[in-house]
Structure 1
Amino acid sequence: MNSLMVAKIIRVATIAPLMAFVSLLLLCIFEPAVYGGWFQFSFALLFLVVLPVVAYPLQPIVPGFRDKGREGQRNFAILMGVLGYVFGILFAYVTNAPEGITMIYWIYFISGIGIVVFNKVLRIRASGHACGVVGPISFLIYFLGPIAFIGLLLIALVYWASLKMKRHTLAELIWGSAISFIAVIGIILVFQ
């Protein structure tokens, strides 16, 4: 297997919804108080994993996105992700969800808005992929402690794979990473 194929596998295995699934599952196993029960965990999966994932099969049939190729797919995935995050925040407040999962919804929402602002408003290309990896690893470090620092290795692999496939420049990866890292730190400070 050549290095380009390895890079492609790493990128596919670390798409934002899959990273959300893995991080939510790890929290469910090792820090279940984040959810307060299966009800909140199930809806977190719906809002942070399922809604963003359905963007990929739906994009070819949704007017305004279907004829836009990879860029249409990227834009529709961002839109569906942000909608999921908004629904998650609303759901958290309506159901009086525990603070931990409420924080996670806010982290995803601020990160998603940050990606939109950088890419569409400021016209600075920030990597949504890096954002979708660094955010979950950052909040896993917050909730699980030093053991989650192992995720830094995954971040390094994502950077390598993205650069190898020429999907992003180093600056785009850093911008995307910074957006989610700042969102995590900001939400931690707000909730403290």
Structure 2
Amino acid sequence: MVDLAPVERRGRRERVAVVVGELTSPPYLAFGLLLLVTVRNAESWQQALTWGAVAALFASLLPLVVLLHRVRRGVVADRDVRRREQRPALLVMATVSVLVGVGLLVALDAPRELLALLGAMTAGLLVALGISMVWKISIHVAVAAGTVAILALLYGPLLLLGLLVVVLVAWSRLVLTHHTRAQVIVGALVGLLVAGGVYPALLGGATS
């Protein structure tokens, strides 16, 4: 059964795990990474504002709003979407939303790094969708791992120290019994391999 016990009734370890999960929620990580790449490539505040608004709206904010709306209506059990059968529809919606954002950003002559990031996000969503049809992985861990992979590609291998955060995220999912060890391990591998492979491929193998 899904544990819907209020946070205040949980122990200290569980409360810490909840906070970790909230701070590393996939929409938040996606939002931060999109803004970072946008500012990194923009030549003016107008460009940063335009590209950042479009990217954040379609790749982070809109999927989050739809998720919260479905939770409020009772269509989805909780914000973490712990029931596997409820995940595919949300993943399809998020994929379509990101693709719409990509189309708009291409029309706005957005930088290649930003488009490559959105391409990697789309690939990750499609892989997660395929897996979710038959099994459940930790999307929290997958997004955290993918974020670390892209940061390392952008700023150097020292950023792979961020994998310690991925371990922390995996720990939080296990403590809250949202996932098994296999599910967090596969989530981490999916995030690292998809982001680490698709992103540089879309950039032609190099980052600026």
Question: Structure 2-normalised TM-score?
Answer: 0.78
Q: What is the total number of aligned residue pairs between the two structures?
A: 186
Structure-2 residue corresponding to 1:69: 77
| Aligned residue among 3, 25, 44 for 2:13 | 3
1:96 aligns with 2:116: no
Partner of 1:134: 145
Pick from 169, 179, 182: which aligns with 1:158? 169
**Unaligned 5+ runs, structure 2:** 1-10
Amino acid at match of 2:28: L
Which structure 1 residue ranges, 4+ long, deviate > 6 Å from structure 2?
none
Q: Distance in 2 between matches of 1:58 and 1:37?
A: 29
Whether contact under 8 Å (2:137, 2:187) holds in the other structure is yes
Shift of 1:39: 1.5
Question: Which residue of structure 1 lines up, in the alignment, with residue 119 of structure 2?
Answer: 106
Contact between 1:27 and 1:34, CA under 8 Å: does it hold in 2?
Answer: no
Post-superposition Cα deviations, 1:77-129, rounded to whole Å, max 9, x if no partner, equal: 42332222211222232223211001011111000010010111xx1222111
Aligned partner of residue 149 in structure 2, secondary structure:
helix
Q: Deviation at 1:76?
A: 4.9
Bigger radius of gyration? 2
Letter matched to residue 116 of structure 1: L
| Change in CA separation of 1:98 and 1:34 when aligned onto 2, cut-off 3 Å | farther
Which structure is higher in helix share?
1
Q: Which runs of 5+ in 1 are unaligned?
A: none
Q: For residue 80 of structure 1, what is the amino acid of its counterpart?
A: M
Give, in whole Å, the separation in 2 of the partners of 1:26 and 1:89. 17
Q: State the shift of 1:191 in Å.
A: 2.6
Q: 1:189 aligned to 2:198?
A: no
